[in-house]
A and B are shown apart, each in its own frame.
Chain A
């Protein structure tokens, strides 16, 4: 068995300079010792050291405090200590009376490789071998944002340039392996790795802490039930709509209140956009290419919002669809919007539901049947249902009854195709319908709910 000790120090740290006699004792012990100095090649003076000028060695060793002492047996690390703690150093080296004239304990100092900005820079320089994607070197005077446009990576809005440092930082947002394949992205059926999602999440403007949510969104989109290829290739208006539930909403600061379906919140905006960029870039799905939408809708840039669970008397949408209680989850719906349901008069659920039914009757055209839809119930309409003691199920049942028409065997709303969520600002007696695709249910797209991982 070969024992090897590795020591990382810097002159600028008083604890490191204090330990010169200890370094001399280690060198004299006969144990193999290599010493790396972070700042001054002439330090330490008692033993020869190598200069870790680019800090690559310190980065690879994961040093955070100097001095750090690492023990290896046959190349495998078996222990490490940092700062000066005589008992620890003696245990790790198997030597007695180390630094007998020194105090028994001194804290170490921050290592140079963890100074502000350094971990990111070092990760890009030395950690980028983790990344398997092809690299795209730009010309010296080429603008990074324009370069992304020129290569067809943008949805029309500027993207954040996916540098190695940004992609590596994004991957720190998940515990999952960058090489894990989430599925095949239509239309070109390209394998979608965690890494490819991270690259596109960077471009969309996501923070690393959003990545677990984005991964769940992509997994939901690639679920066969969602039929992402058809959702992309249809001539209809639709695109994926993302509805978030659970603790992740507040953890990453999503907006479920005023202007919930509109602009202005980074998490709402970028999570939905990340999915669109994955389909565009990994899958190759582009408008007027395989995306045959006649009109499309503005939600195809991004359409992602959380339910206002705290403001709702109803259980979260995700739980009504089988996700665990209290779990973070996403639901994907193939739809578009926003169709207004305006009722500033009704003071009973019975009257209010008639207004919803009235909008549904003419939705798309009067003969359309078996449609899917999301209903976003605003707080001031929620108040009416709450005062009447209506559950989500009561609302849906009453709506279906109101929509029954003689002479139509097929219902206006497909059984299982209605999602009811509660969100929005406190003032305004305005709810919304987000209609679904013409191809609903098993012949087209089925809404998919996935729990969010880590």
Chain B
């Protein structure tokens, strides 16, 4: 009988502990919502409409843009959002 083979794990050995999303505010009153356009084609049409609907509810909206959908947002954009907005909506990935 042959020995039981042992293999060396080729993976990143990810064994994550679960994290919970950040706590949300009770309402959006008085809070600025960032709309981050990830620069996919026609995502702006979606975000324009969302912007209008949030305006109608009296919610303050600011718009941001990633220069390319292919990369994560530049640090400068992330910092700007963190400085100016309380919440963020990112889209639209298709």
Contact = CB atoms under 8 A, between A and B. Distances in A.
A164 B8 contact: yes
A178 to B, nearest CB: 11
A196 interface: yes
Contacts of B12: 185, 188, 190-191, 196, 281-284
Contacts of B1: 140
A129 interface: no
A227 B8 contact: no
A227 B70 contact: yes
B67 interface: yes
A443 B70 contact: yes
Nearest to B4: A140
A403 interface: no
Nearest to B16: A188
Given A140-B1, A230-B70, A443-B70, A135 B10 contact: no
B10 A439 contact: no
Contact of B7 (A135, A190, A444): A135
B70 A163 contact: no
B68 interface: yes
- Most A-side CB within 10 Å, residue of B67, B70, B72: B70
Contacts of A444: 68, 70-71
A366 interface: no
Interface in A199-235: 199-200, 203, 227, 229-230, 233-234
Given A140-B1, A284-B14, A161 B70 contact: no
B83 interface: no
Contact of B6 (A153, A164, A196, A283): A164
B29 interface: no
A402 to B, nearest CB: 29
A136 B8 contact: yes
Nearest to A190: B12
Contacts of A134: 8-9, 13
Nearest to A235: B94
A239 B13 CA distance: 24
Interface string A160-175: 0111100100000000
Chain A interface mostly: mixed
B71 A161 contact: no
B10 A162 contact: yes
Interface string B51-86: 000000000000000011111100000000000000
Interface in B1-34: 1, 4-14
B5 A443 contact: no
Contacts of A283: 12
A167 B12 CA distance: 16
B8 to A, nearest CB: 5
A439 B6 contact: no
A304 to B, nearest CB: 19
Interface string A138-170: 111010100110000100000001111001000
A454 interface: no
A443 B70 CA distance: 7
Contacts of A190: 12-14
B70 A133 contact: no
Contacts of B67: 443
Interface in A177-205: 185, 188, 190-191, 196, 199-200, 203
A130 to B, nearest CB: 11
A283 B14 CA distance: 10
A137 interface: yes
Nearest to B93: A292
B6 A138 contact: yes
Contact of A136 (B6, B14, B70, B72): B6
Given A161-B5, A163-B5, A153 B70 contact: no
7 contacts: A134-B8, A134-B13, A138-B6, A144-B7, A161-B5, A163-B6, A185-B12
Given A137-B4, A138-B7, A437-B70, 8 more contacts: A137-B5, A153-B11, A163-B7, A196-B10, A200-B10, A227-B71, A281-B10, A445-B70
Interface of B: 1, 4-14, 67-72
Interface of A: 131, 133-140, 142, 144, 147-148, 153, 161-164, 167, 185, 188, 190-191, 196, 199-200, 203, 227, 229-230, 233-234, 277, 281-284, 437, 439, 443-445
